[in-house]
Each structure stands twice: as structure tokens, then as C-alpha cells.
């Protein structure tokens, strides 16, 4: 039986913190489905197709499990059921993340108690990284190269420049 896990998120943009959780989460399952959410309320910098391409490129060299990158725009538990997931992988950075994630895990358990949520603590050096902050730093012309890969850095910088033009 193949153990399928999902790692959902906006990935706008994908950061080194996300990559850490993906690498570690992929070791826990046979197949990791990275679900790129289409939640328009977050006002993303990149559209869903751009984010899918970005994530696929960044995870291409991870070989510890089969990795699939897909978009979804429905309830997380419905998405988990659709892909046959038995595990949801979530990353935690700080106490505020825990409080939110704990509440979400409880609600998700009420919807389907056969799908477990696993929390992975972010690597200490990556804990402060958040996509929202990466975008904010880039908008104000700060250096984001410590937080994302070189390819993602170039994409974010180019998008900021395009948006300012």
C-alpha cells in the first residue's frame, strides 16, 4: 500500500523553508502531493500556473519519494480524499503557527478522522522565513537571496520590477 501525504500551501513564492519541509516530508511517505492552493483572497504575486511551474522546478531534484505538484481550490480534506492521502504535512515556525495549525488540525479531524496531520518544525535557520515577508522585502528592494533559491529570487525581483513599471 502506497502511503500518500500532502503538503498544501500557497507557495507565493516557494521559499527555502518550504523546501526544507518538502525534503523532510518526502522521507515520511511513498508519494508526496504538493497542493498549490488557488485561494484568490491571498492576492498572490504569481498566478497559479506560475506557482505550479516554480514549485515543480524547485522540487525536480528531490528523489526520496515520488513528488507530484498539483493545484487545488477546494476544501483541504476533500483534496486529501481525492488524492488518496492519509497524511497532511504541515510546517511550523513559531507559536503563532502552532495555534493556527492546531485549530485547523482539529477541524480537519472532525471532517475526516482517518487522515492524520503531521507537524514538522522548520529548521532553526529557516524559521523566520515567510512568503509574505519575502515579497515585502523584495518590494522595498531588499535582498531576498537568503530566503529563496536563485531562480525564485530572479523571478520575484523581475515581477516586482514589472509591477512597478
CA gap 107, 124 in Å, rounded: 28
> Is 64 marked active-site?
no
Structure confidence by residue, pLDDT tens digits, 70-82: 999 999 999 999 9
pLDDT of residue 101: 87
CB of 108 within 8 A of CB of 77? yes
Catalytic residue among 42, 78, 132, 146: 42
Catalytic residue among 18, 51, 90, 135: 18
CATH topology of domain 4-124: Rossmann fold (3.40.50)
Query: Residue 97's pLDDT band (boundaries 50, 70, 90)?
Result: confident
Catalytic residue among 51, 90, 131, 135: 131
pLDDT of residue 43: 82
Residue 158: other Cβ atoms inside 10 A: 10
Is the pLDDT reported for residue 163 higher than 80?
Answer: yes
Name the CA radius of gyration of the chain, rounded: 16
- Spell out where 10-147 has E strands: 31-37, 66-72, 87-92, 116-121
CA gap 24, 16 in Å, rounded: 12
For the chain, what are the domain ranges? Answer: 4-124
> Is 93 marked active-site?
yes
Is the pLDDT reported for residue 94 higher than 80?
Answer: no
Amino acid at each position: 500500500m502506497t502511503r500518500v501525504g500532502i503538503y498544501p500551501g500557497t507557495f507565493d513564492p516557494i521559499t527555502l523553508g518550504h523546501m526544507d519541509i518538502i525534503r523532510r516530508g518526502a522521507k515520511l511517505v511513498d508519494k508526496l502531493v504538493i497542493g498549490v492552493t488557488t485561494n484568490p483572497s491571498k492576492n498572490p504575486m504569481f498566478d497559479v500556473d506560475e506557482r505550479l511551474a516554480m514549485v515543480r522546478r524547485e522540487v525536480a531534484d528531490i528523489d526520496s519519494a515520488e513528488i507530484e505538484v498539483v493545484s487545488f481550490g477546494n476544501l483541504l480534506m476533500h483534496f486529501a480524499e481525492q488524492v488518496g492521502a492519509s497524511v497532511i504535512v504541515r510546517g511550523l515556525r513559531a507559536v503563532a503557527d502552532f495555534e493556527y495549525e492546531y485549530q485547523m488540525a482539529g477541524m480537519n479531524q472532525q471532517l475526516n478522522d482517518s487522515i492524520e496531520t503531521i507537524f514538522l518544525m522548520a529548521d532553526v535557520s529557516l524559521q523566520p522565513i515567510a512568503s509574505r515577508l519575502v515579497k515585502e522585502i523584495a518590494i522595498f528592494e531588499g535582498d531576498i537571496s537568503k530566503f529563496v533559491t536563485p531562480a525564485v529570487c530572479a523571478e520575484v525581483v523581475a515581477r516586482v520590477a514589472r509591477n512597478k513599471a
